Each structure stands twice: as C-alpha cells, then as structure tokens.
Amino acid sequence: MKRAPAVILPAIAVERASARPLHRQIYEGYRDAIVARQLRAGQRLPSTRHLAAELRISRIPVLNAFEQLLAEGYFESRAGSGTFVARAVPDELAVPRSGGRPRQPPSRSAPRLVARYAASLRTDTGPWFQGQAAFGVGQPPIDAFPLEIWSRLVARIARLGDRSLLRYGKAMGYEPLREQVAEYLRTARGVRCEASQIMIVGGSQAGIELAARVLVDDGSSVWLEEPGYFGIQNALRLVGARMIPVPVDEEGLAVSAGIERAPRARAAFVTPSHQFPMGVTMSASRRLRLLDWAQSTGAWIVEDDYDSEYRFGSSPITSLQGLDRDSRVIYIGTFTKILFPAMRIAYVVIPPDLVPAFMAVRRVTDMFSPPFVQAVLTDFIREGHFARHVRRMRLLCAERRETLVAALARERSLRLGVLGDAAGMFLTASLPPGTPDREIGLTAAREGLKVLPLSSCALETPAKRGVVLGYGGSTNAEIVDGAARLGAILRRMVPRTRSRSR
C-alpha cells in the first residue's frame, strides 16, 4: 500500500472544556491559519484520522470541520492523494475582515543594532557577490575537491554510530580536530600555539565577528586596512567601533600612518599574508613595527590569514602571530578557502588569557560548531588527504593564475597593472585614478562576470581604482574567455587620455 507522506501538524489547539464545540474550534483554527498565511496554498493537510489521534479526540468533529472547510473553499481534496489547502483563495480572504478603513501599520523603527547592521551592508549588496560566474572572489577550485574521499569518511563516521557526536559540543571545538589544527599551524604557518588555544568556529567571518565582540567596546578606535575586507568593516561597524582607515602600500599596512591617526587604538585588523584586496604581503619591518606598537600600547592585533595555503614561488611567509612575543595577536585561519566554502569551519588561535572571554561570547552566539563535520575533517587531515589536497590546489591555482596573467597581458592596449599575484586566489588589476570601476563592475555583472571594484573596498573616498579578479573558482577556459570579455568592457569604459598607473 502506498503511504501518504508524513505531514507536520499545524499548531491548532482544542480545548475540550470550552463551550465552543470541537468541530468549530478546529474549523476556526484552520481558517485563521490560512487567513494569516501560516498555511500556504497547496500545502498538504494531515488525514482526519491522524489529526484526531494527535488531538486525542474522536474523529467525528474533525470530519465535520474538514467538510465545512472543503465546502467553503479553504480546503480542496485531490482524489487518491489527500486534502490540501486550496490553491484559489475564497473571496472572503481578499476582504479585510475588520471592514472600514485599513489599519495603519504600527511604526517599525529598527532597533539600534539592526539599523547599524543595515548600514553595514554597503559592499555586500553589489552583484559581484551573487551567484557563480568567472572571476568570483574568494571561490576556491571546488571542481577539484575530492568528494569521493569526503563521502567515504562521512559514511564511515556515520556508521561508527558514535552518538556523542550528536550531543551538544564544546565551545572550543572537537578536541581531536583542535590537536590537528595546532600541529598544522605550528608546522606550516609558524604559529606559536597549543591545542588549548584553538577555537573551532563557523568560518573566518564568525571568528572576525567574535574577535570584534570580545575586543572592541562601543566607540573604541580600531585600525583597518584601507582599502580592506568588507567582512572586517561590517563586523566592526556592528560592534560600534570607531573605524580608523589606515592606508596600505606595497609593504602592507602603513603603521606610522595608523600611529599618527589613532595612537591609542584598541586593535588593528589586518590581512598580512595577502592583503585583501591589494594582494601585497606585509614586509618584515612593518610586522615588527606593528607588533611593537601593540606591545607598547596594549593594543590587540587580529590577523586574518584566510588564504595563505595558496602561495606560489616564494617560500611560505610565516604568520605575524609567530613573531609575537607578547600574546597580542589573535590569529584566524579557515578551511573554507582550501577545501570548500560551505564547510563553514575555521579556527581562531586565542592568547591564553583571552580564552575565557571568547568562550563566554561564543556561548551566547552559536555555542559550538557541528561535531560531526569536525570529526570528518579530523580524519581527512589525519589520513593525509588534507596535505595532498593543499599540494594539488597550489599547483592548480598557480596554473589558473598564470592563465589569467597571460590573458591580461594579451590585452596589451589596456596596459593593466597587476598586483598581488604572488599568493592567494585573486589578483588586482589596477586602473587609472578616477576610472569608474563600480560602473565597470556593474556592466561586467550584466555580462555574466563577477568583477569586484576596488573602490567598493574603501571606507573613505577611494584613492585607488581597479578590479579584483578571483581565479581560484574559474577554469582556464572561463578565465581566457572572461579576460577577453573584460578587456572589451575596459576598452569601452576606461578613459583613454590618462596614463596607466601601477
């Protein structure tokens, strides 16, 4: 016998002691739920037998109520498949039930935090973040992710039936994964850490937000790279920071400019391995200068090391955290760029004295990351799949980067300056001052390309113009085709008279 699919029962309560008959209560419960659009057209309804059993009443009042609802057009029955909310709305529903003048909606002034957040969504609203297309920034080569290995590990862990993975997890994360991450960071990134300092979080964005909540009070000054990562800008806006844009040059954050603007800032949020969006690596002398400033003033540094696995040619540069002798750096890294973004697993390396504060804030947000995924990832690392994947991704991204650099070079007439191609999954093509890069981004989006305008990454009046081009998530063919199409757009839209600047 074919079984009807199980249906979620709507929250219709009946009071047996009420003077209103039961069938009337059920009828009104359903009618009100449909009028209030809690139940939508076409939605399947439970069988009368099932509903009666659930409400612990006899089936008769349920049958009577259903009959009336069918007769009035709220329900419709389909032969052989059951009863559904009607697709056509009865006339009565189109008329406001109170009659008379329509009520004024109550005022909905947004609470302070919501208003602040809405204001922060400045850059995210651009088409460059919607959907999948060539040059999308922050997209890794998921076409090369070993899904078969991952599925095998998922199945194995599910079969093992360890029900502790289904319980509430720990705020700091799944211990075996924290051990693996600590070992990896000490070895590959020169991070000075113990597993006890590692907190597993839902993506580096979650780590950035957590750090902002722990470190920054309403109104405290914070240095940000200018231009910089909108995710950092948004998180700091949300906690009410006074944002101090500090320019970035070819050596990274201009520390002396920061000291000039806000010597007593509470924190600096930086991307030293591969600055977003300029792509530069912070020089050793700037790193020492920044650490020196933090140590002498008691400021914190948040190091967002989001894509350092992708480093080509030059020897891997160790983390800023690894140079820190005073535990002033909060280090954030992620698996979302090297494995796949939907994984939402990243890690924060927390100075030991700040661990309780991070845990306290974590408990009021998402509490912990899903233990099951963490267990799968632990085995993925432990069995060597992660190390192999990193090696393959480096080669693949290097190839895609070369394809893009060569394709841009073919657009000789544009004489584009290419920045930041020594690492990561994106590069920046600089354009002459005053170029309408935002319009270029919008035009490119209409033509099926995701081109992030450099000016949309600035907090102040944008000094630099250009386009940020991701290549990690695009195939060689998409890159070649995309570069030719972008070249055509740039030839149309970049002013010709100005000299090209690097």
Ligand X SMILES: Cc1ncc(COP(=O)(O)O)c(C=O)c1O
Binding to ligand X by CB under 6 A, coded x per residue (else -) over 108-147, reads ------------------------------x---------
Q: What's the min distance (Å) between Cβ of 279 and ligand X? A: 11
Could you give the CA distance from residue 473 to residue 482 in angstroms, rounded to a whole number?
Answer: 13
Distance from the Cα of residue 364 to its chain's centroid: 19
Please pick, from the candidates 25, 83, 180, 205, the single residue that binds ligand X as defined by CB under 6 A: 205
Q: Does 456 bind ligand X (CB under 6 A)?
A: no
Helix (H, G, I), strand (E, B) or coil at 331: strand
Q: What's the min distance (Å) between Cβ of 146 and ligand X? A: 20
Q: Which two tokens stand for residue 333?
A: 């890294």
| Cβ-Cβ contacts under 8 Å for 137 (sequence gap 6 or more) | 128, 277, 425, 426, 450, 452, 468, 469, 470
Q: Which residue of the chain is nearest ligand X when measured via CB?
A: 138
Which secondary-structure segment (H or E) carries 156? helix 147-160
Nearer to ligand X, 61 or 272 (CB): 272
> Total binding residues for ligand X by CB under 6 A?
14
Please pick, from the candidates 235, 346, 423, 444, the single residue that binds ligand X as defined by CB under 6 A: 346
Q: Which two tokens stand for residue 318?
A: 């160790």
Question: Residues 27 to 86: which contact ligand X by CB under 6 A?
Answer: none
Contact range with ligand X by CB under 6 A, out of 98-106, 107-115, 197-205, 290-298: 197-205
Could you give the CA distance from residue 352 to residue 291 in angstroms, rounded to a whole number?
Answer: 18
Could you give the CA distance from residue 175 to residue 368 in angstroms, rounded to a whole number?
Answer: 12
Please pick, from the candidates 169, 203, 227, 258, the single residue that binds ligand X as defined by CB under 6 A: 203
244 C-beta neighbours (distance < 10 Å), count = 18
Candidates 450, 422, 462, 456; CA nearest to 121 is 456
109 C-beta neighbours (distance < 10 Å), count = 7
Q: Does 304 bind ligand X (CB under 6 A)?
A: yes
452 and 441 in contact (C-beta within 8 Å)? yes
Please pick, from the candidates 48, 281, 308, 336, the single residue that binds ligand X as defined by CB under 6 A: 336
Q: Which two tokens stand for residue 379?
A: 């085995």
Residue entry with tokens 């630099």: 464
Q: Does 226 bind ligand X (CB under 6 A)?
A: no
Q: What's the min distance (Å) between Cβ of 259 and ligand X? A: 24
Q: Does 204 bind ligand X (CB under 6 A)?
A: yes
Q: Does 310 bind ligand X (CB under 6 A)?
A: no
Please pick, from the candidates 334, 378, 428, 455, the single residue that binds ligand X as defined by CB under 6 A: 334
Site residues (vs ligand X, CB under 6 A): 138, 203-205, 229, 231, 271, 276, 304, 306, 334, 336, 341, 346
